[in-house]
Amino acid sequence: MAESLPETLNMKDLPTKQVKLSVPPLNEINEVILPELLKNFESVSVDVVQCPDLTQPPFYLASEGLSGDENIFDIGSPSYLLPLVNRNKVYDIKDFKQITGTDPIFAVGAGAGPWPHVGVNSELAGNVHMACSYVKNSSRVVKINSETKSYELEQLPANETRFALLANFYTSNGVRGEVLRIVCEKRKGLLDFVTSIRLALSTFYGNQIVGLGGVILIENGKIKVHVMPDFSKVPINSEEDLNKWLNFFEVPSPLVCLGYLVSHDPGLDLRPQHFHSFSEHGAGGHYHYDTDPTTIKYTAYLNVARHIYRVDQPAEGVVLFGKD
């Protein structure tokens, strides 16, 4: 008998917590993150600039900019994969408008792909611009070919804006404005690009919550990614089980990474950082870190968020791991 497909959950009916974030000036964030980046990279520049048109190559985003009603969303949880998948956790990016009241809304981020459409579990690089009845969907998914065990990247159709289980998105009106431009080359320290930024914010701002989101272009070098296979048929009960289940790859640049980072979790079971990558040459997946420090080059355009929306947080006591 064919498996029945779940109804898409209506986000306005799910438990949602809204938390106001600290919104430091971009020039201040610039000064806060620069020392940590200089510890970990040979060449660093951090500037406040007018956002370029991100719809153009090499970014290929669905809207031009990262400004206007800037927010971040943490939806669902890795817990919904564990120990066996909860297939009922299917959401829709279109529902973000119900939560924020924003129109237009541009969403970029990382999550699990819409398995009812893809047919299997996958990694989602979400990239959707919505205005009234208009939807531009440039999202990609990366999945595992069960026969070859290799990854495959595909673009979702215009009307497929769902995702499953978990996701972390940065949202805005998608207009161009001032953003942080961060360029780092030749890693010399132990911390990767995203972690360097997050820990610098965490150290300086303490219990204040600062969130940044947007796009990171990996211009040169290689990165380690994972791509989830189809859902496990045996329980995943430990970090060791999780790592055996995941598929890890070293993938070449150029790569576009979408997502957010947050400096502090006030008890919302937040994912501290989450970026998924895609490319025009077929590579992509969940970003971990760069693997060739001497050749790596990152160029990021990030903006600061004003609120975080925590949607469908799991009950306390659920075992969590594999969140970074």
Neighbours of 286 (CB within 10 A): 25
pLDDT recorded at residue 71: 98
Q: Which domain holds residue 233?
A: 11-311
Compute CA 128 distance to the chain's CA centroid, rounded to the nearest angstrom: 13
Torsion of CA 91, 226, 39, 22, to 10 degrees: 10
Tokens of 170: 């940065």
Residue count (the chain): 324
- List Cβ<8 Å contacts ≥24 apart for 139-142: 140/278, 140/284, 141/113, 141/114, 142/113, 142/227, 142/276, 142/278, 142/284, 142/285
Pairing label, strands 247-252, 222-227: antiparallel
- Give the CATH number for residue 21: 3.30.1330.80
Residue 74, beta-bridge partner list: 168, 310
| Whole-number Å distance between alpha carbons of 65 and 55 | 8
Residue 115 exposed, middle or buried by CB count within 10 Å (0-12, 13-18, 19+)? buried
Question: Which residues of the chain form beta strands (DSSP E)?
Answer: 16-20, 41-50, 71-76, 90-92, 105-112, 123-131, 134-137, 140-144, 151-155, 162-172, 178-187, 211-220, 222-227, 247-252, 255-262, 273-278, 285-290, 297-304, 307-311
323 occurs within a structural domain: no
Tens-digit pLDDT profile for residues 175-200: 999 999 999 999 999 999 999 999 99
**pLDDT bracket for residue 77 (50, 70, 90):** very high
Burial of 33 (0-12, 13-18, 19+ CB in 10 A): buried
Which residues, in sequence order, are CB contacts of 287 under 8 Å at separation 6+? 194, 216, 223, 225, 257, 259, 275, 276, 277
In a domain, 316, yes or no: no
Q: What pTM was computed for the model? A: 0.96
pLDDT above 50 (res 303): yes
- pLDDT (tens digit per residue) in 93-141: 999 999 999 889 999 999 999 999 999 999 999 999 999 878 999 999 9
- What DSSP line would sit under 13-64, residue for residue? GS-EEEEEPP---HHHHHHHHHHHHHHHEEEEEEEEEEPP-TTSTTT--SSS
In a domain, 179, yes or no: yes
Indicate if the pLDDT at residue 4 is higher than 90: no
| Inside any domain, residue 322 | no
| pLDDT for the residue 102 | 86
Note whether residue 274 is domain-resident.
yes
Domain assignment of residue 182, yes or no:
yes
Tell whether the model's pLDDT for residue 1 goes beyond 50: no
79-83, 121-125, 318-322: which is most confident: 121-125
Is 4 part of a structural domain of the chain?
no
Mean predicted confidence (pLDDT) in 274-291: 98
Predicted pLDDT of residue 132: 84
Residue 133, domain member (yes or no): yes
Q: Give me the number of domains the chain comprises.
A: 1
pLDDT in tens, 246-255: 999 999 999 9
Mean pLDDT, to the nearest integer, of 267-292? Answer: 97
- Residue 3's pLDDT band, with cuts at 50, 70 and 90, is low
Per-residue confidence at 317, pLDDT binned at 50, 70, 90? very low
Averaged over 302-320, what is the pLDDT? 85
